[in-house]
Amino acid sequence: MISIKKVTDLAHYMVSMVINAGDLAVDATAGNGHDTAFLAEKAGPSGHVYAFDIQEQSLKATADKLKEKALEQRVTLIHAGHEEIARHVVNPVKIVMYNLGYLPGGSRRVKTESKTTLNSFEQALTLLEPGGIITLVLYPGHPEGLLEKKELLRVCTKLPPSGYTVVHTVLANQGNEPPELIVVQKILFKSG
Ligand SMILES: C[S@@+](CC[C@H](N)C(=O)[O-])C[C@H]1O[C@@H](n2cnc3c(N)ncnc32)[C@H](O)[C@@H]1O
């Protein structure tokens, strides 16, 4: 049984339903490394994770977490914005995780921005394998987070249902503008 207290728990649950050992995955916002380590565990020794962040502090925290769990061989840490995702990742990936906003415990001035998030998301849609998912944890409680939510929903609601399934979840009893989750799956067409 899993306990769902936060939308990040739900994101992990959705990812664990889809990811298999040997898969390629991207953590588009490495932060303190929780999602990167989770992906590296799930992808196993034959899989690989590409983790992006614009802050050295975040990449250091992620590297420390991976070392602690002996997972560093499974991850490439990339000091770049996720809007450069397609320059660094060329093969199709099963999972792309975004946990938007700012680094918990870090400067609130350094945060994801709607323009670059959207640019990255559009590249991620192209990189995604059929059957793969993109998870986006949104924080509409601050102005840029609200803009990111609106922009992402504008794009997601226009994705053709013949190609993608889009799930949008709100933890409805968690106060004003609680965190939200969008999950996009590229539809897998089975032959026969
Ligand atoms: C909420 S934190 C991520 C939490 C992380 N996933 C974890 O498991 O600990 C958001 C991170 O996004 C990073 N960030 C902001 N803009 C970015 C961008 N354009 N590309 C990649 N990372 C970015 C911030 O530096 C911050 O570390």
pLDDT in tens, 165-188: 999 999 888 888 899 999 999 998
Residue 8 has a pLDDT of: 96
- Using CB distances shorter than 6 Å, the residues near ligand 1 are 28-35, 52-55, 58, 81-83, 99, 101-103, 110-112, 116
Give the model's confidence band at 191: pLDDT under 50 very low, under 70 low, under 90 confident, else very high: low
HSE-CB of 35 using CA atoms within 13 angstroms: 34
pTM summary value = 0.97
In the chain, the domains with their CATH numbers are 7-186 (3.40.50.150)
Helix, strand, coil tally for the chain in percent (to 5): 40, 25, 35
**What confidence tens digit (pLDDT) does each residue in 86-128 have?**
999 999 999 999 999 999 888 888 999 999 999 999 999 999 9
CA of 190 to the centre of ligand 1 (A): 35
